[in-house]
Each structure stands twice: as structure tokens, then as C-alpha cells.
Amino acid sequence: MKSVHPLQPFRTFLTALAGLAALAVTSSAATPTRPNVIFILADDLGWADTTLYGHTKFHQTPHLDRLAKRGMTFSRAYSASPLCSPTRSAVLTGLSPARTGITTPNGHSPEIVLQATVGATGPATIPAVMPKTVTRLATTYHTIPKSLKAAGYATAHFGKWHLGAPPYSPLQHGFDVDLPHWPGPGPAGSFVAPWKFKDFDADPGQPDQHIEDRMAKEATAFIEKNKDRPFFVNYWMFSVHAPFDAKKALIEKHRARVNPADPQRSPTYAAMVESMDDAIGTLLDTLDRLKLADKTIIIFASDNGGNMYNVVDGTTPTSNAPLRGGKATVFEGGVRTPLVIAWPGLTTAGTRSDALVQSEDYYPTLLAGLGLPSAPGQKFDGTSILPALKGQPFARDAVFTYFPHAPGVPDWLPPAVAVHQGDWKLIRLFFAGENGAHRYHLYNLRTDLGEKTNLAAQEPARVKALDALIEKFLADTQAVTPVRNPAFNAKTYRLADEGKQKSDTKQKTDTKKKNRPAAP
């Protein structure tokens, strides 16, 4: 009989253990950890408010430029709405505001409305009765954080929410962390501490801390804690929404740089932009320090265009020139926004794209790029833009902006819906034409970016074709649309007043009241 060394069973065990370890390493290499995701959403930041597109000499955004050098900058990115909450709902769900019914920023309203309904009445001065909007994002919706959490991501929300207080807060929508857990439309009281958040104060020894400094610090702590697992940071900035205040030193810095001939000349707003940009720098520094930059997807966008109806430092907060209009309008200034996406291994550093993209696209793009399934029965109004991110041809039929309201801001219009297709844009004004027919604005944005020449009368066939797309979109999304106003008195409606700011929407600078946010 062959003799067996007394240690042979132990050696066999060690050999088997080593084999299992090698198999584990091989398996791990075959299924690498998914990249982290950071989604930064600025509030009311206009397309011309950054140095990304060469339309400002006053605002300074070096860290945003730094991010752009790492990824792709989009020149034709659109928010789902010219107001914040509708866009926020679209980002989270991939669904149009026309489908969710969230078409105004009423997330802080005490009234809980989960289903849009046809409006009952309207003033005699408006041709259409506006629908009653949804005021909360229902927790039944599939959201980005729910999908990522199911895939093993740690999830956190920092900053503004404005889609509902508990039980509709971020904690009920898939986030593990929510700071400062605030449902309001802007920072509580001011950007600079002391704040009025419940159970959330400035850091000890920093009585004048800026809210974005604190939010970036909290996001950094979350990243450090979860650096060894995939994480999703949803940083929805309070900046640069009203109230209009900032660090005093930065205001004085920019006051010395004001050019009275420049339409962007508010030193307070420029200081707010700088603090916003500094927060981006803090996150980039954190990723570099932890060696996570090559493992982290970063999306930077804005919820709508720049604010052109408030007053600060004796002027409007900003100018969206060369675009027309601003926040709360369906003109380009209200919906064309900055967008930078840095996706390691996918985007080529320092590239630009003129692909047509919209807020609804981010969710399906993340699922496709991360190899994650959509939920059973889940549908999107957006589409994956992975081809564009790879620099490949990316063709889509159209994107839509549904805004059935008429706030009296500069360049306001009656309740409307718009479609972008190629170089063309059509705006339908519900029941605002002769004898209650719809009225239209048609623009060729390649030759008329400022939307100065309405070509609807010269291009009836194009109007008809684009309006058919609008009609299909409204039907597909089951949108609750405006109805003709039986109380409308055409004699009270002066077309010449369309687009002129109504006095009750303008808010003057009031340092004692900290420039409380004005609606919308």
C-alpha cells in the first residue's frame, strides 16, 4: 500500500482554498464594480450663466470648465419645463410633466394633489382654462435612486427637493440620506447662515457658512464613507434661486468688476454663481483625492433657464442673451440649459455635442450605460443618449415642452406646448387664436436663435406637421390639457401686452427680508 504523508490532507485543503481564491479574483475581474454616479442639478442657472458657451464675461465658473475638460458639453440640452419641480420630477422618473401632471412648482403647497384635473374656471383675460396641477411626486413611480439602490448603490440626496414633504420626501423615493430634509422652494431663510432649517444648523464656529459649502461638505463625507462601494449622490443645489444673497466678500469682489453696459451686471448673482462653482470644485477635489474620478459618472445640468423677472442690485439677476426670455417661458431662454456629462470610458475628454437632449433622458441613459434593467412595465418619455455620449450619430424625432400656464413674466405666453425637431421649433398657444383656434409661433433656431421672426404664416405645412407631433405627444402622455375658457373676453386681451411683465411678478431687492423667493 502507498504511504500518505501525514500533512497531505492539510496541503490538499490549502490547494483547494487557493483555487477558490483565484476563482473569486477571476469572477471579480469579470464583473467589475459599477461606476459611481453624481448628479448635480443647479437651480435657475441659465444657458448663458457659465463660461461653457462663451456668452458671459462677468460670471466665473472655472470648476465647471474643469468638469467640461473631463467630459462632453452639450449645446442643445433642454429642461423638461421652464420651472423647477416639473423638471425635477422628469429627471427622477424619465417621464414628461405632461404625463405626471406636475406642471408648476407647488411641492411646498399644503394641498396634496396626486392627479391633475381639468381646470374649473379662468380669468376673462386668458383664452384657456389652465389645468389643476399635481403637487407631490407619488411614491409609486420608479425613480433613479430606487433602481440604483436595488443594484447595490448607497444613495443620498443633498439640497433642494421641492417635490413634497414626508411622506413624499427623498427618503420615500429611494434615498438612504436626505440633507437638509427640506421641502421648500429655496434655502430656509438665506444662503448664508444662520438658516431656518429644522434640525440642521451651520457648523460650529461658522455662523456665516454658505449653504453650498455645507452641502458639498456633507456630500464629501458621504462619498468618503461609501468609497468602497458604488454610490449615487444626487446634489440638487439651492443655487442660484432666490433669495438673492451671497458671501459679502464675493459680492464686493464682483462689484468692482461690473460693466454697466453688460446685461449681466449683478454682483450678488455673480457671487452666487461663484459659490455654486466652488461646490463643484469641492466634489471634483474629493474624487481626485480618493482616486475615484475614473470610477465616477458626473452629470451637471440646470432645472430651467435663468431668472429674468426678479430685481437685484438694480437689475435682473442675469441675462439669457442671445436667447429670448427666461425662467417661466417656453422660449429658449426658459428651457435651454447648460449640460456637461463626464462618463469615464464613454465620453471623450473635452468634447462637445449638438445632440438634442432633455431631462427625461438621464434615467434611461443611466440604466442603459450601467447595464441595469428597467422595472417590469416601466416606460420612459425620454431615451438613452449613449450614442451621443460615445460621439456616435444620434438621431431622435423630437422633444416636447408642456407648460399649460401663463405666469406674467417677461416674454410670457398663454398656456402652451412646444416641440423641437431638428432646427425647427413650434409653440402652440392653446385657444389663443381667432375664434378660439390655437395660435402658433414657428422658429428656425439655426438662423434665428433669438426667436425674433415668427414663420408660422409663411410655413403652414410645417406648422401642420409639427402640430401633429404635438397632438400625438399629448395623446401618448394622456396629458390633462387646457380647455377653452367660456368666460374669455377677447376685448380684454391686448396682443401688444403679451410678453410684457406684469407688476405682481416683479420683486424688488429687500435686504431685510433676505429677498424671499418669488413665485414661480
User: What domains can be seen in the chain, in order of their start residue?
Assistant: 33-396 (3.40.720.10)
Residue 13: count of CB within 10 angstroms of its CB: 10
Rg (CA), the chain: 25
**How confident is the model at residue 492, as a pLDDT?**
83
Q: What ranges in 118-264 are assigned the alpha helix state H?
A: 144-150, 211-225, 248-255
Q: With the CA atoms of 446, 81, 180 and 507 taken in that order, what torsion angle do they form, in degrees rounded to the nearest 10?
A: 90
Strand order in the sheet with 424-429: 399-403, 416-421, 424-429, 439-444
Cβ–Cβ < 8 Å for 228, 500 = no
**How confident is the model at residue 32, as a pLDDT?**
59
* 156: enclosing H helix or E strand: strand 154-159
Q: Residue 11, SS3? A: helix
Q: What ranges in 159-210 are assigned the alpha helix state H?
A: none
DSSP state of 361: G
Q: What is the mean pLDDT of residues 371-388?
A: 97
Q: What is the mean pLDDT of residues 178-186?
A: 95
**How confident is the model at residue 494, as a pLDDT?**
83
Cβ–Cβ < 8 Å for 342, 65 = no
Question: What gap in Å lies between CA 251 and CA 176, rounded to an integer?
Answer: 36
Question: What gap in Å lies between CA 14 and CA 390, rounded to an integer?
Answer: 46
pLDDT in tens, 314-329: 999 999 999 999 999 9
**How confident is the model at residue 506, as a pLDDT?**
58
- Single-letter amino acid, residue 318: T
**How confident is the model at residue 30, as a pLDDT?**
38
Tell me, rounded to whole angstroms, the distance of Cα 105 from its chain centroid.
13
Between residues 26 and 307, the one the model is more confident about = 307
Please check the confidence at residue 409 and state whether its pLDDT lies above 90: yes
- 121: confidence class by pLDDT, cuts 50, 70, 90: confident
Can you state the percent helix, strand and coil of the chain, rounding each to 5?
30, 15, 55
Question: What gap in Å lies between CA 148 and CA 33, rounded to an integer?
Answer: 13
- 258: confidence class by pLDDT, cuts 50, 70, 90: very high
**How confident is the model at residue 373, as a pLDDT?**
96
pLDDT in tens, 414-424: 999 999 999 99
Q: What is the mean pLDDT of residues 278-290?
A: 98
**How confident is the model at residue 26, as a pLDDT?**
34
- 22: confidence class by pLDDT, cuts 50, 70, 90: very low
- Tell me what percent of the residues of the chain surpass a pLDDT of 70: 90
Cβ–Cβ < 8 Å for 336, 52 = no
Q: Whose CA is closest to 421, among 336, 356, 338, 358?
A: 356
Cα end-to-end span (Å), the chain: 92
Residue 76: count of CB within 10 angstroms of its CB: 17
Which phi and psi (to 5°) does residue 21 adopt? -65, -45
Pairing of strands 128-129, 177-179: unpaired
Please check the confidence at residue 6 and state whether its pLDDT lies above 90: no
pLDDT in tens, 380-405: 999 999 999 999 999 899 999 999 99
Total-model pTM: 0.91
**How confident is the model at residue 505, as a pLDDT?**
58
